[in-house]
Chain A
Amino acid sequence: MTVTDLKTSFSSYFNQTSSPAALAVFRMMFGVLMMISMLRFWFKDWIFQLYIEPKHHFTFYGFEWIKPLGPYTYLLFIIAILSALLICIGLFYRGASILFFLSFTYIELMDKTTYLNHYYFISLLSFLLIFLPANAYFSVDAWRKPQINSDKIPSWCTDSIRLLVVILYFYAGLAKLNSDWLFHALPMKIWLPAKNDIPFIGGLFNELWVAYLFSWIGCLYDLSIAFLLLYKPTRKLAFLSVVTFHLLTSLLFPIGMFPYIMIGTALIFFSTGFHQAFIRKIGAILTVSHSFLTPVRTYSFSKIQQNLVTVGLLIFFSFQLLFPFRYLLYPGELFWTEEGYRFSWRVMLMEKMGAASFIIKDEMGKIIEVDNKDFLTPQQEKMMATQPDMILQYAHILKEHYEKAGFENPQIYADTYVSLNGRIGKALIDPTVDLSKEKESFRPKHWILTFQDEIKGL
């Protein structure tokens, strides 16, 4: 294929149009699930426990200015909930999607210890939604302004969401291609027996072969499911397995709303007919006119918009494809150092537990051991104990605190002990390195001790 051919097929793809029904259903589903997620978070009092109660927060490198806003943190959630509602009904859609992306992403960047891959996924989805005409059909906006009501939108709009889902699943599957997961059934072998008192099926979780089966099925599922959803003959069966798989994981693991979000998102792969029928049903309940549901108009971007969006999408998806592989630039075992672990679709991939205590020395000969609970919540302490970048951040929190408390140039040493996938615990951080002198950066952290084993694979 010549360059010209490629260009032609590329631009012809970008000129293809299709029904907006799938995107409209996705918009509504997304809005509803986001409202439920945020309200659930609120009612469980997590806003207070995770963002207001802790004395210190683990910010993201480069985003240190993003911190909880005290009591105004609730306002952030109110903004996110209201904008999710507006997204759902498609009113003031563009503004609402920008507001949702900003408020939700702000919330997720406030504290690293609450990081979850599916929050990242939601941030990315809501970012995409800003640029998609998800309100061009079956929305309050389209009802208010009939001139935007369309029965055709560019195909890439719906496809871009599909592509993001494809990447998520496929990369989650790639991450499982390692010797611990496939050949030792780790961490499944550890996690499943903990659930052996579930009625009826509990006994199975004691069986080693079940742990292997779960590992292999989980891996094959992640690698293939998005493609099976894309391919029409296998779609229905694939969706059924999406529902089964995610409900099973929600039964076994404390993963909150994630299974429901993934089940809802998988609907994006369904045909126009499916989504049209769904919209007609809701339309009947709302008694909207037939003409509202059958506009004859093609939503189009201006030439400039089209070009900007094309370039933007290319950058966005190239980033999505490359960023998870940044771990290759670091020496050492990824699971151990976690340099390049986040934002890479590594979901429920390892059992890691640790303990970390800190010793402060100063020039005047003072020496004390820190009581972590004076600074961190149990949840923060647990997350910090196994993740080197958080250990460093915490060391700097301690440095600042003890300087104020009258320590002369305090030196901070970490005494760590971490167990990874059942390996007997070892020190994670070099106990002789004064962490107060070390700086966060994207460079490899020389003070992480070498992992004394090998996990083969990606």
Chain B
Amino acid sequence: MKNIKTQILFLLLATLVSCVDSTENISQPDVSTDRKEMLTFWVEELILPSYAEFDKDLQAMLITADDFTTNPTEASLSAFRTSWTEAYISWQNVEMYEVGPAEKYTLRSFFNIYPADVAGIQNNITSGTANLNLPPAYAQQGFPALDFLLNGVAAQEENILAFYLDSEKGAQRLSYIKVLVSRMDTLLDQVISEWKGTAKDDFINRTGLDIGSSTASLVNAYVLYYERHVRSGKFGIPSGATIASAGTPNPDKVEAYYKKDISGKLAKTAQLAFSNFFNGKANGKQGPSLKSYLNSIGAKDPSTGKLLSEYINEQFSLIDNLVEALSDDYYYQIETDNEAMVKVYQEMQKAVRILKVDMTSAMSITITYTDNDGD
């Protein structure tokens, strides 16, 4: 009896060993399944340095804004615009990190909701007492509002300066700019100082994958950002590719609509930051990432044997190539060749699904944000 059992056991073990795909190997030297390590790298080497970099550019913008509002000249306006452009580009590197303190203060809502609400901005200037904390005021502040104020208040260049030199209303207008930039400074300060306080350790120590854990929260924020604010916001809505816009392009809804010639640069920066985060690259560093995590848990299609991270990076580079071929001015792009914009949207939609379904399934993460097209 004993003998038979041993034989059966041996047979089963032998089958087991022979059936294990020998090419499969979970532990590769440069990868790790340690989520704490990954979270630490994310916050210390990616999130905080990106915020620091953005803060630097925002401070530079504050100085030029100050110059302009105390002494509006062609030169100070031009300097303000340049620093605004730099800061707006830099913002694209941090917008996806809407997790922890940034989520708490809903940073994105106050920094980059577009198209700008022009009527609301004009009202706020007149009343001088706007409450910018409320959702209806999202599109009356941040980079899009400054875009309008710096580039869109008049068709002719000299008339823009005149807008602020107006003896009657010029002061009110300048003071609204002051309110907006100092508000951005305050909000960013809050987020950065909270990250540097208890939020950092708290983030690093929630190592699970359940709802509310850091990895799950960040992946949710990351995918939501791409779906709503890159795919739909930068491409789908302006090009009319989303079903909600029923094929009607809305070129006036592009990012930086008044400046126009930087919308491409903004989108490219966002796309690069997004794929760099996936690959654990930023600020000259390389470390534990979604890619290395997926590789280390052996996330691959069992029928093709191809790594999931390869599928994702292939899709990213396909998108990169398409985005690279676009004009820097998406308004112009939509007016001349909207098909190219629609194509980007479609490929981004494929990326969203791979990230939202394949990646979260492989990682055992639940997507908790409800899909909201809102467009």
Which residues does A use to contact B, with CB under 8 Å? 180, 182-184, 186, 189-191, 193-194, 196-197, 206-209, 212, 216, 220, 351-355, 357, 359, 367-369, 371-373, 378, 381-382, 417-419, 421-425, 452-453
Considering only residues 354-375 of chain B, those with a C-beta below 8 Å from chain A are 354, 356-358, 360-364, 366, 368, 370-373
Most interface-central of B19, B34, B242, B361 (chain A CB within 10 A): B361
Asked if B20 is at the interface (CB within 8 A of a chain A CB), the reply is yes
* B243 closest partner in A (C-beta): A369
Q: Write out the residue numbers on chain A whose beta carbons fall within 8 Å of the beta carbon of B20.
A: 183, 208-209, 212
Asked if B169 is at the interface (CB within 8 A of a chain A CB), the reply is no
Beyond A369-B242, A372-B371, whether A422 also contacts B300 by CB under 8 A is yes
A259 to chain B, nearest CB (A): 18
A16 to chain B, nearest CB (A): 28
Considering only residues 15-39 of chain B, those with a C-beta below 8 Å from chain A are 16, 19-21, 24-27, 33-36
Q: Write out the residue numbers on chain A whose beta carbons fall within 8 Å of the beta carbon of B362.
A: 190, 422
Beyond A190-B362, A191-B364, A216-B12, whether A424 also contacts B26 by CB under 8 A is no
Beyond A351-B361, A424-B304, A424-B311, whether A368 also contacts B244 by CB under 8 A is yes
- Asked if A418 and B16 sit within 8 Å, CB to CB, the answer is no
* B13 closest partner in A (C-beta): A216
Q: Write out the residue numbers on chain B whose beta carbons fall within 8 Å of the beta carbon of A193.
A: 33, 297, 364
Most interface-central of B36, B243, B302, B362 (chain A CB within 10 A): B302
- Asked if B26 and A378 sit within 8 Å, CB to CB, the answer is no
The residue from B302, B306, B363 contacting A184, defined by CB atoms under 8 A apart: B302
Give the CA-CA distance A127 to B370 in the complex, in Å.
39
The residue from A182, A208, A216, A355 contacting B24, defined by CB atoms under 8 A apart: A208
Give the CA-CA distance A354 to B303 in the complex, in Å.
18
Give the CA-CA distance A355 to B353 in the complex, in Å.
7
Beyond A194-B209, A207-B26, A208-B26, whether A453 also contacts B19 by CB under 8 A is no
- Asked if B33 and A196 sit within 8 Å, CB to CB, the answer is yes
A431 to chain B, nearest CB (A): 13
A-contact 0/1 string along B167-208, CB 8 Å cutoff: 000000000000000000000000000000000000000011
Give the CA-CA distance A206 to B33 in the complex, in Å.
7
- Asked if B298 and A419 sit within 8 Å, CB to CB, the answer is no
In this complex, how many residues of chain B approach chain A with their Cβ under 8 Å: the count is: 48
- Asked if A197 and B208 sit within 8 Å, CB to CB, the answer is yes
Q: Interface of chain B, helix or strand or loop or mixed?
A: loop
Other than the known A184-B21, A425-B354, what 15 A-B pairs have Cβ atoms closer than 8 Å? A183-B19, A190-B364, A196-B34, A197-B36, A206-B26, A355-B357, A359-B243, A367-B243, A368-B244, A368-B246, A372-B371, A382-B366, A417-B353, A422-B300, A422-B358
The residue from A189, A371, A418 contacting B372, defined by CB atoms under 8 A apart: A371
B374 to chain A, nearest CB (A): 8
- Asked if B302 and A373 sit within 8 Å, CB to CB, the answer is no
The residue from A220, A378, A425 contacting B353, defined by CB atoms under 8 A apart: A425
B114 to chain A, nearest CB (A): 21
Give the CA-CA distance A298 to B371 in the complex, in Å.
63
Give the CA-CA distance A397 to B326 in the complex, in Å.
41
A367 to chain B, nearest CB (A): 6
Q: Write out the residue numbers on chain B whose beta carbons fall within 8 Å of the beta carbon of A182.
A: 16, 19
- Asked if B26 and A421 sit within 8 Å, CB to CB, the answer is no
Asked if B308 is at the interface (CB within 8 A of a chain A CB), the reply is yes
Asked if B58 is at the interface (CB within 8 A of a chain A CB), the reply is no
The residue from B242, B311, B363 contacting A194, defined by CB atoms under 8 A apart: B363
Beyond A197-B207, A373-B370, whether A424 also contacts B16 by CB under 8 A is no
The residue from A206, A220, A378, A422 contacting B302, defined by CB atoms under 8 A apart: A422
Beyond A190-B361, A378-B368, A421-B302, whether A371 also contacts B373 by CB under 8 A is yes
- Asked if A425 and B357 sit within 8 Å, CB to CB, the answer is yes
* B364 closest partner in A (C-beta): A194
Q: Write out the residue numbers on chain A whose beta carbons fall within 8 Å of the beta carbon of B21.
A: 183-184
The residue from B34, B209, B243, B356 contacting A355, defined by CB atoms under 8 A apart: B356
* B352 closest partner in A (C-beta): A355
Chosen A-B contacts, 7 in total, with CB atoms closer than 8 Å, are A190-B361, A190-B364, A351-B364, A354-B357, A382-B366, A419-B361, A422-B302
Q: Write out the residue numbers on chain B whose beta carbons fall within 8 Å of the beta carbon of A378.
A: 368, 370
- Asked if A212 and B16 sit within 8 Å, CB to CB, the answer is yes
Q: Which 9 A-B pairs have the closest CB atoms?
A: A194-B364, A369-B243, A353-B361, A453-B303, A373-B370, A193-B297, A197-B207, A208-B26, A206-B33
Give the CA-CA distance A93 to B372 in the complex, in Å.
51
Q: Write out the residue numbers on chain B whose beta carbons fall within 8 Å of the beta carbon of A417.
A: 353, 357
A-contact 0/1 string along B56-69, CB 8 Å cutoff: 00000000000000
- Asked if A180 and B357 sit within 8 Å, CB to CB, the answer is no
Asked if B299 is at the interface (CB within 8 A of a chain A CB), the reply is yes
* B244 closest partner in A (C-beta): A369
